Structure 1
Amino acid sequence: MMQWQADWGLRGRMGLTMVLLGLLYVGFIAALAVSGINLLGIVLILGLFSFGQFFFSDRLALRSMGARTVSEDEYPELHATVGRLAQQADLPKPEIAVADSQVPNAFATGRSQSNATVAVTTEIMRTLDQDELEGVLAHELAHVKNRDVMVMTIASFLSTIAFMIVRWGWLFSGGHGQGGRGGNQAPIWVAIVVSLVVWILSFVLIRALSRYREYSADRGGAIITGKPSALASALMKISGRMDRVPEDDLRDQAEMNAFFIIPISKGFVGRLFKTHPATEKRVERLREMEREIETA
């Protein structure tokens, strides 16, 4: 089996993206301080909201997908496969959930390695063979190992604050008729404009970070199973099946894009700011890993 080695090029790009996000957020906080907005109050309110969302992320994700945790008696083979892969990844065995859905997909959620859930749809179990399913499950376990839910929650925190200021900024000035600092509305409008710029830039950077973390999970999943070609085959098969899924099902589940192994990206808007790299690029990287194994 392959060793869990870092892809330093990929880590470097993720690191640079997070540095850029950090610099953007430092400038954002400085601009809010100058504008006179009560930043502490906003941070406390949204901090409590984000903490609650993060703490209950697994339940929220499962509920939105209509998934339920299943016992070993119900799905013995699925439990055995996840347990074996978790052991190979040096992880505690996560909870396992199944969603009765025509969308062939899978996702992982949870705030920590010891409090995680791996979910699959009934359609993906019908679509993939055993090796391909193992590749997908290993990909999701790599997300758990990399603590991606926590990383993306932290990365998105100040972006969420920027969005709320853009949407509700006039409230922080005291209403329609009054501005901060003696009725002068200029500071609050400066803060709204700055927040809009920060939100747009952070939106782009966070999606770039999400794409890099998908590459990382692909690599981790291939290392866990030692079969990059199986995951590549699964990605192509799932991507091909998406075109046959009814539009209503795709719309119902599109909000889970950031969690899915293959995003729902039909239409212009879905493709404009992708949370995942193109399937073709992911498959090519996995094939490169397969060639490395064959020549090792």
Structure 2
Amino acid sequence: MSTETGWGSPVVNVVSVAAYALTTIGVAAIGWFVTVFLWGIAIGPDSALAAATAIAVVPVLALGYVAVSMEGSPTLSMAAYVICLAGAAAAFLAAVWATVFLFVVIPLGFDTAATAAGLVTLALAAAVAAVSVAAVTAVGKSTDWTLVFRMAVAILLLVLITIGFLAAIWLVAFVLSTLLVGPVLGVYVAGGITVLATVVLGYHEYTQVESIEQRADATPTSAADLPGIHATTTKVATQLGVPMPTIAISETHAPEAMVVGFRPSDTHLILSYGAVTALTDAELEAVIAHELAHVANRDAMVMTAVSAPVVLADGLRARVRDDLLLHGGREWDEDEWKPPAETPDPDGEWGDDEIFGPDDEWRAMTLSPNSDDDDNANESDGWLLSLVLFIIATVAWLISRAITAVLSRARETAADRTAVEVTGSPAALAGALRALDDRITQMPTRDLREVASVSSLSILPLEPMATDPGDPDSVLGRARNRLHRLRVRLFRSHPPTEQRLAELEALERERR
């Protein structure tokens, strides 16, 4: 790959390499100081310098190997991602230390708690360093390291959000438990409540999710039904070394193309009538290669694992929201409730559908408050607690969903590149993306909303992202448009189609 990208490229390369080298030195220095601090607290200052020096060598070797093994030279974006990765790793270790310390400081005392927290953090830091070195050496030399670093940063940030979310739940439970059983026993009661709440919410959310095939209204097919599609899929699956998926066809005109299934052996490839009829044979092969690349890259397993904070926070939000509505409203009779004259447009207000749920839930917000003052006084404490939990869960959900979207976009980019390697034709995948994007643009908004539940899984998002929800001539309309664009930028699960096409065109030029 040529590094001469235009006027000034040699200067840019020198600056990029220098920035990457300084970043590597900085990361090693931070690791050295952190190790000295933790080692001195947990074990003692005598051997801290030697241990810190040994630990500091690890990032130098790993990042040096990346620079030597990659095609071309390190870029400024790589240096930026390394800084973000180092910061996220440091924050992660600090969060672990604080969690362990706070959990044992009351029963064990300050000194013992600091020693225990230091030992646990050191052990975890050594494990993270070993895994990082193993991962770096296992990745191929042609890897896009910028993409790898971006995914690593996203995963670490999601781990931090999960720790922070659970720590907030623990803190609320600890305050309540302390009032009832005292601080010593309250620590363990709060820990048990946090673990139990995590298990219950996670289990409920994952077991209550309907089958994606049912949502997509897809019917499994055999080779006799669709011999051409089955033959193409068999060919691509063999090239990628993944099991042959079950092929299901959805009878919708929306251009759906997705794979579902936690394990490669249970994968279902879902193609819609709209997608198949919009593509040529070469384009359909490229789409199938993109989807099976997700299977080869274990994206379903990765995204399911990293979506844990989203699932947990969203589950808590839903349950606390119901409790808030019951405390803030009155019981109603379904038969006597009348819908408003005009149904709110889900695209009209940023976040309404995600933050407050579907339309059958926001209606409770308009009910008059309970007229029984005594009951309201008795329930005020419960309402306040529910409000605190709702705020915590909503903040965790918004942040974790935005970070998950970053990781999802990175996985889509990786799948595009894998598909090109399999088919050997960036132009075929680019043509497929253009054809599917045109079909989505022509689809009525109402039809796209019907398949919105599977939008994030398809090769292109099945939602009218470009639609402006407000009148650009009014102040309110412009504000709503800005919020709409912010929502798209933060939460979209796929890179912009124009960006994907530009990258594919660059790959096509490289192959000429």
Q: TM-score, normalised by structure 2?
A: 0.52
Correspondent of 2:155 among 18, 24, 47: 18
**1:238: which partner in 2?**
436
Q: Could you tell me which of 178, 186, 197 is aligned with 1:42? A: 197
Q: Which moved more, 1:37-46 or 1:84-93?
A: 37-46
SS at match of 1:275: coil
Match of 1:81 among 228, 232, 251: 232
Q: Find the counterpart in structure 2 of residue 282 from structure 1.
A: 500
Match of 1:131 in 2: 282
C-alpha displacement at 1:51, in angstroms? 4.2
For structure 1, the residue ranges without an aligned partner over 5 or more in a row are none
- Cα 1:71–1:218 change in 2 (3 A) is same
Q: Is the 8 A contact 1:265 1:271 kept in 2?
A: no
Equivalent residue, structure 1, for 2:312 = 161
Give the drift of 1:5.
4.5
Letter in 2 for 1:39: T
Return the alpha-carbon distance in structure 1 between the equivalents of residues 507 and 321 of structure 2: 52
- Indicate if the aligned counterparts of 1:35 and 1:188 stay in contact, CA closer than 8 A: no
Preserved CA contact (<8 Å) 2:449 2:463: no
Deviations 1:186-213 (A, max 9, x none): 6654443222211111121111111111
Report the CA distance between 1:166 and its aligned residue.
Answer: 3.0
1:84-138 alpha-carbon deviations (Å, 9 max, x no partner) = 0000011111111111121223111111111101111122222111111111000
Which has the larger share of strand?
1
Summarize deviations over 1:52-103 as a string: whole Å, max 9, x none.
368xx7xx11111111110000001110000000000111111111111212
| Alpha-carbon distance between aligned partners in 2 of 1:53 and 1:150, rounded to the nearest angstrom | 18
Comparing both chains, which one has the higher relative contact order based on Cα–Cα distances under 8 Å and sequence gaps of 6 or more? 1
How many residues align? The count is 284
Alignment partner of 1:32 is 2:152 = no
1:19-39 CA-partner distances (Å, limit 9, x unpaired): 111111111111111110632
2:213 to 41, 62, 65: 62
The amino acid across from 1:256 in the alignment is V
Q: 1:195 aligns with which of 387, 390, 393?
A: 393
2:290–2:416 Cα contact (<8 Å) kept: yes
Separation of aligned partners in 2, 1:31 and 1:52:
25
2:273 is aligned with 1:122: yes
Q: Is residue 149 from structure 1 mapped to residue 300 from structure 2 by the alignment? A: yes
1:4, 1:220 within 8 Å by CA — same for their partners in 2?
Answer: no
Q: Which moved more, 1:37-46 or 1:233-242?
A: 37-46
**For residues 189 and 246 of structure 1, do their structure 2 counterparts lie closer, same or farther at Cα, with a shift above 3 Å needed?**
closer
- In the TM superposition, what is the alpha-carbon distance from 1:218 to its structure 2 partner? 0.8
| SS of equivalent to 1:91 | coil
Contact 2:205/2:315 (8 A) holds in 1: no
Aligned CA-pair RMSD: 2.5
The aligned amino acid for 1:197 is V
State whether structure 2 residue 440 is matched by structure 1 residue 222.
Answer: no
Question: Could you say which structure has the larger radius of gyration?
Answer: 2
Please state whether the residue corresponding to 2:262 is helix, strand or coil.
strand
Give the partner amino acid of 2:511.
I
Deviation, 1:242, is 1.5
Query: Which residue identity lines up with residue 165 of structure 2 in the other structure?
Result: F
What SS does structure 1 have at the residue aligned with 2:268? Answer: strand
Aligned with 1:243: secondary structure? Answer: helix
- Note the C-alpha offset of 1:171: 8.0
1:293 maps to which residue? 511
The worse-fitting range, judged by mean Cα deviation, of 193-202 and 212-221 is 193-202
CA separation of 1:170 and 1:112: change in aligned 2, threshold 3 A: closer
Q: Counterpart of 1:264 in 2: which secondary structure? A: coil
1:48 counterpart letter in structure 2: Y
| CA displacement at 1:156 relative to structure 2 | 1.7
Identity %, equivalent residues:
32
1:123-169 deviations in whole A, cap 9, x for unaligned?
A: 22221111111110000001111222222222222222222333333
Long gaps (5+) in structure 2: 1-139, 174-189, 328-377, 469-483
Residues 228 and 287 in structure 1, CA contact (< 8 A), matched pair in contact too: yes
The match for 1:108 is 259
- C-alpha distance after superposition, 1:189-246 (max 9, x if no partner): 4443222211111121111111111111111111111111110111011111222223
- Determine if contact 2:409/2:494 at 8 Å carries over to the other structure: yes
The CA distance in 2 between the partners of 1:132 and 1:119, in whole Å, is 16
TM-score (norm 1): 0.87
- Structure 2 distance, partners of 1:237, 1:214, is 18
Closer/same/farther in 2, CA of residues 186 and 124 from structure 1, 3 Å limit: closer
Cα distance between partner residues in 2 of 1:125 and 1:206: 29
Equivalent position amino acid for 2:452 in 1: A
3-state SS in 1 of match to 2:269? strand
Question: Is residue 142–residue 220 contact of structure 1 (8 Å, CA) maintained in 2?
Answer: yes
Cα deviation, 1:269-293, whole Å, max 9, x if unaligned, reads: 5846311111010011112222222
CA distance in 1, matches of 2:300, 2:318: 25
Give the letter for the 1:286 counterpart: L
More displaced, 76-85 or 234-243? 234-243
Determine the C-alpha separation between the residues in 2 that align with 1:281 and 1:170.
38
Q: Which residue of 2 aligns with 1:256?
A: 454
2-structure distance, mates of 1:26, 1:172: 25
* 2:511 alignment partner, SS class: helix
> For residue 222 of structure 2, what is the amino acid of its counterpart?
S
Task: Tell me how far apart the structure 2 counterparts of residues 4 and 131 of structure 1 sit (CA, whole Å).
Answer: 29
Letter aligned with residue 166 of structure 1 = R
Q: Distance in 2 between matches of 1:193 and 1:81?
A: 49
